[in-house]
Amino acid sequence: MFSYRHSFHAGNHADALKHIVLVQTLKHLLHKDKPFWVVDTHAGSGLYDLGGRHATTSGEADSGITQLWALRQDPAMPGAVRALLDQVALINDGGQLRWYPGSPQLAAQMLREGDHLRLFELHPTELSLLAKHFGDVKRGITIHAEDGFTGLKSCLPPPPRRGLIHIDPPYEMKEDYRRVVQTLRDMVPRFPSGTYAIWYPQVARRESQQLPSQLKALAGQLPKVDWLHATLRVKRAEADGRGLYGSGMFVINPPWTLYERLEEALPWLVEQLGQDDHAAYSLEAQQN
């Protein structure tokens, strides 16, 4: 149950898509003076050393942030990609890429006084690193040693009635796919105005391939729910059916600006991060 460590995967192409969406969503929420909450159901350790043993062993950052960082002077870079790189630059001195922010660090960098970040993590090592990373923060961040799927019930609706719910389980267990759908079925009615950002992997597993249609069907059953679905595929699936070849983000109640930002960014990302002629993207949305 506790074998997954995101430090092996930090900064890969899936993180690029996920964190571009998160940064754009946070930027939209920041446009209003009213405070909001960010709830992360599977927080990880918060910050990742790209020069560490896990990252250098996997080399996965080379499929994402390393390539994007090398292009940061490109005037053709889409604004949504540049906005993520601006956040990454805040934790890297002298133009050298060493650290990559997980979603908790990205949120912590962007939130204002009065906003609140609630983080759930069960993995004992990740939890210890997360607590150490935010150990000097006295207010605005709460860390829970609890399953994020069940912990959401204690958070929603947040007092400000504004918020981003980030759902990003490791999907090592098939049960995670079912729990994503059930959690949304239970939680969206509790906090119908919230934005829910769900990441999922594109892998050769039936549950992964069925999840987008299940999320669309669920959204159709909920009253007055808009949704956006974006995918980024960088290569063909391996013949043995193993490995991550792409990922998707499904957003319930997305910012109205998000579709336009991704419409510009996704073709550029395919061009820059695509590894073969199977690289592709998709973008669709529905308003009610």
Distance CA(205)–CA(174), nearest Å, equals 9
Pair of tokens at residue 19: 């964190």
Among 174, 166, 119, smallest CA distance to 1 is for 174
Q: Is 15 a catalytic residue?
A: no
* Of residues 214, 205, 140, 138, the one with CA closest to residue 170: 205
Q: Which of 15, 40, 115, 168 is catalytic?
A: 168
C-beta separation of 23 from 15 below 8 A: no
Token digits of residue 209:
């391939």
The distance from CA 17 to its chain's CA centroid, rounded to whole angstroms, is 7
H helices of 205-282, where? 206-221, 258-273
Measuring CA to CA, how many Å separate 197 from each of 9, 80, 150, 187, 230? 19, 16, 17, 13, 11
Residues marked as catalytic: 168
